[in-house]
Amino acid sequence: MHANRYLLKLNIICMQRYSLTCTAVRSPEQHHFERGHMELLSGNQAIAQGAWEAGCQIGVAYPGTPSTETMETFAKLPDVYAEWAPNEKVAVEVGAGASAAGTRVLATMKHVGVNVAADPLFTLAYTGVGGGMLILTADDPGMHSSQNEQDNHFYARAAHIPMLEPSDSQEAHDMAKVAFELSERFDLPFFIRSTVRISHAKSPVEVGERENFTPKQYKKNPAKWVMMPAFAIGRRASLDQRVDAVTAWADETPLNRIVPGDGSDDGDIGVICTGAIYQYVRDALPEARILKLGVTWPLPKLKIQNFAFGVKHLYVVEEASTYLSEQVRALGIKLDQPENPLPRDGELDPWAIQIAFGKRVPTHTDTPEDLPARPPALCAGCPHRPVFRELGRLHAIVVGDIGCYTLGALPPLSAMDTTLCMGASVSMGHGFELALHHTEHRPIVSVIGDSTFGHSGLESLLGTVYNSGIGTICILDNRTTAMTGQQGDMFNGITLQHRPTRELNMAQVVRALGVDDVEEINPNNIKAVREALQRATKADDRLSVLIFRSPCVQLKDSFVRQKPLHVDEEKCTTCGVCVSIGCPALSSDLDSGIAHIDEVQCVGCKQCQQYCAFHAIKED
Amino acid sequence: MTSSVYSDGATSVLLCGVGGQGTILAADILAKTVCASGDVVKLSEIHGMAQRGGSVTTDVRFGKYVNSMVCCQGSCDAILAFETTEALRNISYLRDGGMLIVNDQSIKPLPVLTGDSVMPEEPESQLRAYGGKLIPAQDIAQKTGSIKTANVVLLGALSTSLLYEQRVWEEQISASVPKGTEAMNIAAFRAGRAFVQNIHD
C-alpha cells in the first residue's frame, strides 16, 4: 500500500540518517549511490534518474516548460550522451535511430512538443524499437507556461504508444526505470506523462544503482524498419498483436491498483483517477475506493469492469479533459456525476474536488478585489524591448511567436497581434501578406527568437523565399533559449554537455536560404532599430530579415552589467515617456510624476536614456 | 471541528512573493529540514513564464505522511509572504487561525510603475487585521550582513512555529546557500527567529 511505502521510506531516513543532496549540482565523481539512498527530487529529476538507472545511454530533447530539467539532469549523470535537438521531431528521430541501433533512449518534451514530434511517433509504433525508448510528455493543465491545455492521453491512444503515469517523484523514478524493459518486451516506444504538479513537485525518492545494459545488436531487417506500404501493412498487423499483448499486461500489472478507502463507507464511492489527481482524491474523498491507474493507455479493461461492479457509485476524476471518462464509458460502464460538475478547464485540487462532491470546504477570507495585477514582464535591460517599442510606434501588424518576447504582447508595449505555435510567426506573416497584399495595410512584421527560429522558423522562411513572399522578419537573437532557462540552441554554439561545436552566423544562414536583404542591428541602439524597421517596412517588393543581436541579460557569461543610471530631477519634465517603455527598473512618483530608476534592478542598458528628449537620465 | 480538504494530516505552508526574491531557495531549505528531521515532504513550484518578475508561489506540505503537493484555499497552516501585495493576493489560502508572516516590503508591479494601477492602501494595517506578523526582513538582513539574506530571515521567523530543531535548520541552510555565505545566512536565520520571539515576549 502507498502509505506503507512512505512509512518504509521514513524508517529508512530515520535509521540510516542519509543526507539529502541535489542531483543538479552533483558532480559525476560524487555520484555513487547506495541502496536505500534517499534524495529530494522533482518529478523531472526522478525521471532522469530512473532512466539512468535503467542503463539508458542516450538522451535527446528540445527544452520546454515543464519538461526541461529532465534532460538537464540526465545530461549531468555519468556515462551518458545527451543533446538538445533543434525541435521535438528531430529529437524523436535521433532517438528512433539510436533505439534501432540497439541503445536505450530517453526523449523529453512538453505537451505541445509532441505535436511537432507526432509524425515520427505514429509510425514508430509500427516499427517498434531496438533498445527501449521512453518519451516524456510533460503536460501543462492550467497553462502556467503554455499556449494550450491539450491532454496528451489522446496521443497515446491515437499513436498506439503505451502511457505510464506517475503520481509523485518516487513513482516517476520507478516507472521511468521499468519503462525501457517494457518497451523492449512489447516492441513499442513508451510514453511517460507528467503534469506541472509532477514535473515540478519535489518529494523524497529512493534512488538505486545503474543497471548494466548491453546494447542490442543492430540487424538489417527491412520488414521492421522500412515503412513503405508493402512492409507497413505487415507491421500494422503486428502492431495490433503487440497492442493486444500490452493490453493484457495492463490488466495484470500492479501499476494499476485498487486503493481501499478509509472504511467510513467503503464500497459506496469508487473513483478512477491517475497522476497528481490520485493524491487530491485521497485527500478530498478519503472514504472513496480508488482505482489508481499507472497505465493510462491501454486501459485495464477487466480491472475497470471489476472495480465498477464493486462500488455503488462510480466516478472518474480528471483534469481539464474528458479522456478517461470517455474511455471508461466506451467499455459500456455507466459513470455517476458528482453533485456539482468538476471544472472543465484548469488545474484541479482537493478543494475543487470537495466542492464538486458537495462537501463542506473550509471558509476563507476573500482576496481583496482592488489588488494590482503582477504579470510577468521583460527583464530590466532586455534587448527585445526597443524592438517592440518601435514596432508599436510603426503601428505594425506584429505576427509573434513563442518565447520571452511573447511578453511584448502585454501593456505597456502591447506590440503583438498573434501568437500561435513555435515558428508560426514567419509563416503566418507570409499568410498575412498574401491576404492583404492588394489592399492598403499596416506593415506586417514577423517576430521570432533565435531558438524558435532554429526550431521551426527556418522551414517557414524557406517557404516564404521559395514562394517569393515579401514583408519583414525580425529575428530577436539573444543568444539563448531564454524563457526555459538559458539553454543552448542551434545558433549560439553551446551544447547541453558542453561538447565542442560551432557558433552559427545567423546572417549567413539567412542569406544562404535565399534572402538578399539581411541586416544585423544592435537592438540597444534605438535610432538604429527605428531606421532599420522603417526602411524594411517601407519596401513593398522584397523580403527583409532584420537580425537584432544582443545577449539575454540573464546570460551570466556574455551579458555585462553596467553601472545603474539615475534621473536628474531638475531636468525631468514628468513627460512619462521613459516609464512607457515598460522597464521594471523605472517608475514615476505618484504625486510629482518625476521618474525614478531602481538602482538594484537597473543593468545600465541605456535604452531609457535614449528615449528621454530632455537628457534627464544620467550615467553618473 | 473545522472541515479540511486534506485527510493526510500534513502541515501546509504557502510561500509567496515576486520572481527573484528567493522563495524557491527558502522552500528548498524548509523541505530539506523536514526530510533531515525524519518527516516527509512534497514541494510544488511553478517555473517558466510565471517567473519573469510575476507573482510566484511555492507550496510545501509536510508531516508523517503527505498526499497532495498543492495548497488549497482556506487550508494553509502558514503563509510566508515575501511581499505585502502578494500576501494580500494569497490571503484566501490561509486557514482559520493560520499563521501569516509577511516581509514588510512592497514591490510595485509593472502596471503600477506605468501608472495603470495603484498599490493597495495601507497594506500593513490590512495584513495586521488578518493577524499578520510584519517582519522588517530587509532591515534585519542588512544588519546581519546582506540584504540578499532577507529570505533566510523570513525562514527564521517561520521556524519558531515548527517543531524542527534549530540545529537541523542551520545544517540545511549551510548546505544550501552559496559557499562563503554560510555564516551570514545563519546569522540572518537567528535574527529572524529572535525578532519573532521578541514579538511573542
Handedness of CA A294, A104, A91, A69 (dihedral sign): positive
In a domain, A350, yes or no: yes
Closest chain A residue to B67, measured at CA = A279
In a domain, A235, yes or no: no
Q: What angle do CA B90, A587, A610 make, to 5 degrees?
A: 140
In tens, the pLDDT along A231-290 reads 999 999 999 999 999 999 999 999 999 999 998 876 699 999 999 999 999 999 999 999
In tens, the pLDDT along A352-363 reads 999 999 999 999
Helix then strand then coil, % of chain B, to nearest 5: 45, 20, 35
| Pair A394, A495 in one domain | yes
Strands B40-45 and B55-63: antiparallel
Contacts of B90 in chain A (CB under 8 A): 367
Closest chain B residue to A20, measured at CA = B32
- Residue A375 and residue B109: Cβ atoms within 8 Å? yes
Task: Kindly report the nearest CA distance between residue B181 and chain A, in angstroms.
Answer: 17
Question: Would you state the pLDDT for residue A280?
Answer: 98
| Number of domains chain B contains | 1
Peptide bond into A286 cis (omega under 30): no
In tens, the pLDDT along B151-169 reads 999 999 999 999 999 999 9
CATH number, domain containing residue B50:
3.40.920.10
In tens, the pLDDT along A300-344 reads 999 999 999 999 999 999 999 999 999 999 999 999 999 999 999
As a whole number of angstroms, the distance between CA A383 and CA A386 comes to 7
In a domain, A104, yes or no: yes
Reference A111, options A42, A171, A186, A194; nearest CA is A194
Please enumerate in sequence order all residues whose Cβ is within 8 A of that of A230, keeping only pairs 6 or more positions apart, or say none.
none
Closest chain A residue to B42, measured at CA = A203
Question: Would you state the pLDDT for residue A41?
Answer: 98
In tens, the pLDDT along A408-426 reads 999 999 999 999 999 999 9
Contacts of A579 in chain B (CB under 8 A): 113-115
- Best of A11, A12, A202, A271 to disrupt the B interface (most B CBs within 10 Å) is A202
- Residue A374 and residue B86: Cβ atoms within 8 Å? yes
| Pair A129, A15 in one domain | yes
Closest chain B residue to A18, measured at CA = B36
As a whole number of angstroms, the distance between CA A385 and CA A379 comes to 9
| Pair A148, A94 in one domain | yes
Nearest to B55 among A280, A282, A374 (CB): A374
| Pair A208, A263 in one domain | no
| Pair A169, A300 in one domain | no
Q: Is the pLDDT of residue A442 over 80?
A: yes
In a domain, B28, yes or no: yes
Peptide bond into A362 cis (omega under 30): no
State mean pLDDT over A150-158.
98
| Pair A6, A154 in one domain | yes
- Percent of chain A at pLDDT exceeding 70: 94
Task: Kindly report the nearest CA distance between residue B126 and chain A, in angstroms.
Answer: 10
In a domain, A174, yes or no: yes
Q: Is the pLDDT of residue A15 over 50?
A: no
In a domain, B25, yes or no: yes
How many beta-carbon pairs below 8 A join chains A and B?
226
Residue where a domain terminates, one of A195, A219, A243: A219
DSSP bridge partners of A444: A397
Handedness of CA A371, A375, A380, A384 (dihedral sign): negative
Contacts of B110 in chain A (CB under 8 A): 374-375, 377, 411-412, 582, 584
| Pair A296, A200 in one domain | no
- Best of A21, A170, A277, A364 to disrupt the B interface (most B CBs within 10 Å) is A364
In a domain, A69, yes or no: yes
Contacts of A172 in chain B (CB under 8 A): none
Mean pLDDT of chain A: 93
Question: Would you state the pLDDT for residue A407?
Answer: 92
Residue where a domain terminates, one of A518, A549, A580: A549
- Residue B47 and residue A65: Cβ atoms within 8 Å? yes
- Residue B40 and residue A9: Cβ atoms within 8 Å? yes
Closest chain B residue to A11, measured at CA = B38
Contacts of A359 in chain B (CB under 8 A): 3
Tell me the residue range of the domain where A480 lies: 385-549
| Pair A204, A309 in one domain | no
Tell me the residue range of the domain where B27 lies: 11-109+120-200
In tens, the pLDDT along B107-148 reads 999 999 988 899 999 999 999 999 999 999 999 999 999 999
In a domain, A224, yes or no: no
| Pair A450, A350 in one domain | no
Nearest to B41 among A203, A282, A372 (CB): A203
Range of lowest pLDDT (A31-40, A397-406, A604-613): A31-40
Closest chain A residue to B93, measured at CA = A364
In tens, the pLDDT along B71-111 reads 999 999 999 999 999 999 999 999 999 999 999 999 999 99
In a domain, B1, yes or no: no
Q: Is the pLDDT of residue A210 over 90?
A: yes
- Residue B85 and residue A371: Cβ atoms within 8 Å? yes
Count of C-beta atoms within a 10 Å radius of residue A389: 21
In a domain, A366, yes or no: no
Residue where a domain terminates, one of A190, A219, A248: A219
Instruction: Kindly tell me the burial class for residue B192, based on how many C-beta atoms sit within 10 Å of its own C-beta (0-12, 13-18, 19 or more).
Output: buried
Q: Is the pLDDT of residue A468 over 90?
A: yes
In a domain, B5, yes or no: no
In a domain, A150, yes or no: yes
Helix then strand then coil, % of chain A, to nearest 5: 40, 15, 45
Nearest to A145 among B35, B49, B95 (CB): B49
| Number of domains chain A contains | 4
Under the banding of pLDDT at 50, 70 and 90, the label for residue B201 is low
Nearest to A370 among B32, B108, B120 (CB): B120
Q: Is the pLDDT of residue A10 over 70?
A: no
Question: Would you state the pLDDT for residue B20?
Answer: 83
| Pair A72, A99 in one domain | yes
Let me know: does B66 contact B7? Beta carbons within 8 Å. Answer: no
Reference A489, options A499, A500, A480; nearest CA is A480
Nearest to A587 among B47, B52, B108 (CB): B108
Contacts of B118 in chain A (CB under 8 A): 372, 590
At what angle are helices B150-159 and B182-200 packed, to 10 degrees?
50
Strands A58-61 and A105-110: parallel
Contacts of A588 in chain B (CB under 8 A): 113, 115
| Pair A567, A531 in one domain | no
Q: Is the pLDDT of residue A223 over 60?
A: yes
Strands A163-164 and A295-297: antiparallel
In a 3-state reduction of DSSP, which class is residue A201? strand
Q: What are phi and psi of A190, to 5 degrees?
A: -120, 145
Contacts of B11 in chain A (CB under 8 A): none
Question: Would you state the pLDDT for residue A266?
Answer: 62
Reference B61, options B47, B48, B45; nearest CA is B45
Q: Is the pLDDT of residue A32 over 60?
A: no
Contacts of A347 in chain B (CB under 8 A): 70
Peptide bond into A298 cis (omega under 30): yes
Nearest to B65 among A3, A411, A576 (CB): A3
Q: Could you write out the three-class secondary structure of B4-42?
A: CCCCCCCEEEEEEEECCCCHHHHHHHHHHHHHHCCCEEE
In tens, the pLDDT along A555-600 reads 988 899 999 999 999 999 999 999 999 999 999 998 999 999 999 8
As a whole number of angstroms, the distance between CA A531 and CA A390 comes to 10
| Pair A74, A179 in one domain | yes
Under the banding of pLDDT at 50, 70 and 90, the label for residue B50 is low
Nearest to A202 among B31, B92, B118 (CB): B31
CATH number, domain containing residue A93:
3.40.50.970
In a domain, B181, yes or no: yes
